[in-house]
């Protein structure tokens, strides 16, 4: 199956890519009860050249609130910094470029940030990440002055955790159940594609995300086959490269392992996997991956 370029994002983004679903998940994780008719405007960032999603979900609620939600299977403690950068880009989209130079006060939507953790590693039910924790020379004591702060609640949404939140959103509950089903089937079968296929069928038969899966089942299949394999694959690729180097004791084997990893990066780029997940899987920096992506594009143009 080929990946539709319109769906170069995660399963999470596919499930919650409509305004009503964005409002539903926001109400669940924030504790608010905004009515269904509340206006919601998607503002998710995209890379203009390659049409890749930069973040998972971003939307304006009722013209007065900007919400950014990220889903992660491997917790990144740099999320406050990343979300600060995302927020600046979103404000640029929402505001007139000249508005900040006016003498009168420019009113802007208030930001809220959330990270939803659904990885397999053991993790607490919730915690709050703070931008100030990354500041140099920060003694991290009460009363230490900070001129810039950004707090990000991290919520563990794995099956059986934070049920009071998850059960408030049928789509979030369905997403959690779907992920759990794939993992359950994955343990009993070495064929990941088979596990994903069976999970899709199970959910369709039991009315779990049925509406979403019926519309984009082929895209979901491709996205999930990659997503559920990334964490395991990363470990295997680097372990194989290390083992080959130790057994044969020559740099050539390490280079071969590196080439395999770079081939994997190329394949993930072709499949349309978003940049953050490729960074997590490969261990390369975003700059290195984008340079490789640019070289591939140049080669394609020469052909």
CA distances from 266 to 143, 218, 231, 282 (A): 48, 21, 17, 11
Q: Answer whether 71's CB lies under 8 Å from 10's CB.
A: yes
Check residue 1 and give its pLDDT. 32
Nearest to 91 by CA among 34, 150, 25, 43: 43
The residues, ordered by sequence, that sit 6+ positions from 71 with a Cβ below 8 Å of its Cβ are 10, 12, 56, 115, 116, 118
State the DSSP string of 51-93: --BSSSEEEEETTTEEEEEEEESS--TTHHHHHHHHHHHHHHH
As for how many domains the chain has, the answer is: 1
The 10 Å CB-count burial string (b at 16+, else e) for 176-201 is bbbbebbbebbeeeeebeebbbbbbe
Between CA 273 and CA 251 the distance in angstroms is 30
Q: Answer whether 181's CB lies under 8 Å from 200's CB.
A: no
**Where are the alpha helices (H) located in the chain, listed in sequence order?**
11-15, 19-30, 79-94, 163-166, 170-188, 192-205, 210-248, 251-271, 275-282, 286-302
First to last CA, the chain: 25
Check residue 142 and give its pLDDT. 58
Check residue 248 and give its pLDDT. 54
Domain boundaries, position 194: 5-97+106-138+146-302
In order along its 303 residues, the chain shows pLDDT tens digits of: 333 333 334 788 889 989 999 999 999 999 999 999 999 999 987 654 333 446 789 999 999 999 999 998 888 899 999 999 999 989 988 887 778 788 889 899 999 999 999 988 889 999 999 998 888 876 665 566 678 899 999 999 999 999 999 999 999 999 999 999 988 988 886 677 788 888 888 999 999 998 888 876 666 666 666 666 555 555 455 555 555 554 555 456 556 667 777 888 887 887 777 787 788 777 788 888 888 887 766 655 455
Between CA 123 and CA 158 the distance in angstroms is 10
Nearest to 2 by CA among 264, 225, 261, 165: 225
DSSP at 16:
T
Between CA 19 and CA 36 the distance in angstroms is 10
Q: Is the dihedral of CA 225, 227, 232, 237 positive or negative?
A: positive
């Amino acid at each position: 199956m080929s990946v539709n370029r319109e769906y170069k994002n995660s399963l999470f983004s596919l499930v919650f890519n409509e305004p009503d679903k964005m409002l539903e998940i926001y109400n669940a994780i924030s504790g608010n009860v905004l009515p269904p008719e509340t206006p919601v405007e998607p503002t998710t960032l995209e890379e203009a050249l390659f049409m890749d999603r930069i973040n998972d979900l971003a939307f304006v609620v009722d013209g007065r609130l900007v919400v950014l939600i990220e889903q992660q299977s491997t917790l990144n403690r740099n999320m406050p910094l990343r979300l600060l950068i995302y927020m600046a880009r979103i404000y640029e989209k929402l505001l007139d470029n000249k508005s900040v130079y006016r003498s009168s006060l420019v009113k802007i939507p208030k930001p809220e940030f959330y990270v939803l953790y659904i990885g397999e590693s053991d993790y607490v039910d919730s915690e709050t990440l703070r931008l100030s924790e990354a500041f140099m020379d920060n003694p991290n004591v009460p009363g230490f002055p900070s001129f810039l702060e950004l707090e990000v609640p991290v919520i563990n949404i794995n099956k059986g955790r934070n049920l009071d939140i998850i059960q408030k959103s049928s789509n979030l509950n369905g997403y959690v159940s779907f992920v759990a089903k794939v993992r359950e089937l994955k343990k009993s079968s070495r064929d990941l594609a088979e596990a994903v296929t069976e999970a899709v069928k199970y959910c369709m038969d039991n009315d779990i995300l049925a509406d979403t899966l019926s519309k984009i089942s082929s895209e979901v299949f491709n996205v999930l086959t990659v997503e559920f394999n990334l964490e395991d694959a990363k470990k295997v690729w680097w372990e194989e490269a290390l083992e080959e180097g130790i057994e044969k004791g020559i740099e050539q084997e390490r280079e071969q392992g590196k080439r395999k990893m770079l081939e994997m990066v190329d394949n993930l780029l072709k499949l349309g996997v978003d940049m953050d997940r490729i960074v997590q899987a490969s261990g390369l920096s975003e700059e290195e991956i984008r340079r490789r992506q640019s070289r591939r594009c140049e080669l394609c143009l020469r052909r």
